[in-house]
Structure formats: C-alpha cells, structure tokens
A and B are shown apart, each in its own frame.
Chain A
C-alpha cells in the first residue's frame, strides 16, 4: 500500500493541491492529460472516418441520387449552424485563455456562452430533423423522395439509393449531435467547478482537454457541412 511521503511544512505550503502524487511536475501532469485526450481524438478520427468512408463509397456508386438528396438540404440552416459552431470554438478558446490568465469570471462567462451556442446548434438541428420528418425524407416505410437526378431530367431518383443518402445523413449528423450533447454536459460540469474557483493559471487541465474535444467536434462539422449540404449545388 502506498503511504504519503512525509513532507516538510514548507513543501506542503508550496505544493499545488491539484498535483497528483504519481506525477513529478505540474507540467508533466498537464501533458499526460492532454496527450490522453489526443489519443482519444485519434480513435474518434477512426470512428468518424469509417462513416466518411461509407459516404465516399456510396456517393461514388449512387452519384446522382446523392446529388438529389444533398440538394434537398437547407443550406441556410446548415450554414448558420457552421457559423454557430465556429463562434462556440472561439468562446472555448477564450475560456482556456481566461483560465491561463486567472480571470475567474471570464472562464464562467465563456463556458456559459459555449453551452448556449451548443444548444442553439442542437435546436437548429432539431428544426432541420423536423423538416425532414414532415417531408417524408426519413428512411423507412413512409420514405418519399420524388424528382429526378440533378442534370438528367429523364432519370428518376432511385428511392433505395436516396434512402442510403438520408441514412448516412441521419447517422453522421446524429452521432455528431450526440458528441455535442456530451460536450455540453462536460462544460456544465466544468462551469460548476469554475464557479467554485477551482481553476487557476497553475491548474486548468479540464477546461483545456474539454476544449480540445469541443474543437474536434467542430472540425467534424466543418467536413460534414460541405459533404452533406454543398457538393451538388452547381447543377
């Protein structure tokens, strides 16, 4: 069993209470936590990578039907959501900066703004999903997607191929939204700690690692937006 090493009175007074006993320095502890988040993000790249690959293969096979599906997306709402996420990435970056500078109130303000922007994103996504349900664009027995392939008036849309597009749309944006919900939950937890003044220039690792996660989720959307909404707009 491990027992705490005897510490001198000065030693205790100068020690950062956030420094765990199995790390030599604060910097080592911080680097380990950051590296852990990056390794997790590497697994997330493979997780989303599989879905991006599925999209690539089916787009290659069912090019016209994917074009038609993509043209049915609401670019205004999708573009607004992209801007909302970029703003939330800025507020996270500013929250980390506030923690580095020891501005307690600023951390809380930036994190609350981030959560609000995250919820705005999810709300707009909900409106888009609602529209898709009303239009019968959700894969299943009531799926209905009339029309023709972009650029070919005499080729009707293949209903099954179009359902693959919408399945990929719902799976990819749905899992992205799930990541957003988890991110908002993480920030709610961190905001509570920030309100109690737990973070200071010598210890703000949770703010930073949750920030890395949030920026990653932003990057996934940066790719999802053009692939799902924009690629077939010129025809």
Chain B
C-alpha cells in the first residue's frame, strides 16, 4: 500500500503540543485581558483542532482531494450559519 505511515515521534510531539495548549488556555484564562480572553481561548482551541485534523486525522497526507472539498465546504456552511444568523440577532435593536 502507498499509505503514509506517520512516525511515532510525530504523534507524541502533537500529543505533547495539545497538552501544552490545554495548560496554556487554563493559565491565560486567569489573566484579565477583557474581551481578548475569549479571542485567545478560541484561537488556542482552533490551533489544537487544526493539529488534530492535519496529523491525527491524516488530512495533511491524504491524496483524496474530495476530502478537502468536504472539510472546506463544512467550514463555509458553519461560517454562513454563524455570520448570517449573528447579523440578524446583533442588529435587532438598530
């Protein structure tokens, strides 16, 4: 099979990075940053999610282009859901 087999080192490295990210979110949450607390927490979560998708879910090594199409479309639909609905709720008092 031409299947890509990731090295044990890579998996352990990603695992440690994810654990460090978790500790980092908990620590940063206690520092007063105003609205940026949410921004930092969600940015760290997004970095962690991206690492999981690329390396644990093997998207970085997949040859199947349709997989990427499905993932990107799913994210676009989510963006449409959040952005258009929020445009309604956030402007109701205008």
Chain A residues proximal to chain B, CB less than 8 Å: 26-27, 31, 34-35, 38-39, 41-42, 45-46, 49-50, 52-53, 56-57, 60, 75, 79, 82-83, 86-87, 89-90, 92-94, 96-97, 100-101, 201-202, 211-212, 215-216, 218-219, 222-223, 225-227, 230-235
Number of B residues with CB within 8 Å of any CB on chain A: 52
The list of the 10 closest CB pairs from A to B, nearest first, reads A42-B74, A226-B41, A234-B32, A230-B29, A233-B29, A90-B15, A38-B70, A86-B18, A93-B56, A219-B49
Question: How far, in whole Å, are A92 and B78 apart by their CA atoms in the complex?
Answer: 27
Residues on A with C-beta less than 8 A from B23 are 79
Q: Enumerate 29 A-B pairs (CB-CB under 8 Å) in ascending A order.
A: A27-B2, A34-B64, A35-B64, A38-B71, A39-B70, A42-B70, A45-B74, A46-B74, A46-B78, A49-B81, A56-B82, A57-B86, A82-B22, A89-B18, A89-B52, A90-B14, A92-B56, A211-B56, A215-B57, A225-B45, A226-B42, A226-B44, A230-B25, A230-B26, A230-B41, A231-B29, A232-B37, A234-B30, A234-B31
Chain B residues proximal to chain A, CB less than 8 Å: 1-3, 5-6, 8, 11-12, 14-15, 18-19, 22-23, 25-26, 29-33, 37-38, 41-42, 44-45, 48-49, 52-53, 55-58, 62, 64, 66-67, 70-71, 73-75, 77-78, 81-82, 85-86, 89-90
Q: A75 — nearest CB in chain B belongs to which residue?
A: B26
Contact A215 B52 (CB under 8 A): yes
Residues on B with C-beta less than 8 A from A27 are 1-2
Question: How far, in whole Å, are A18 and B89 apart by their CA atoms in the complex?
Answer: 51
CB distance from B14 to the nearest CB of A (A): 8
Checking B25, B58, B81 against A226 with a beta-carbon cut-off of 8 angstroms, the contacting residue is B25
Checking B26, B48, B67 against A222 with a beta-carbon cut-off of 8 angstroms, the contacting residue is B48
Question: How far, in whole Å, are A50 and B56 apart by their CA atoms in the complex?
Answer: 26
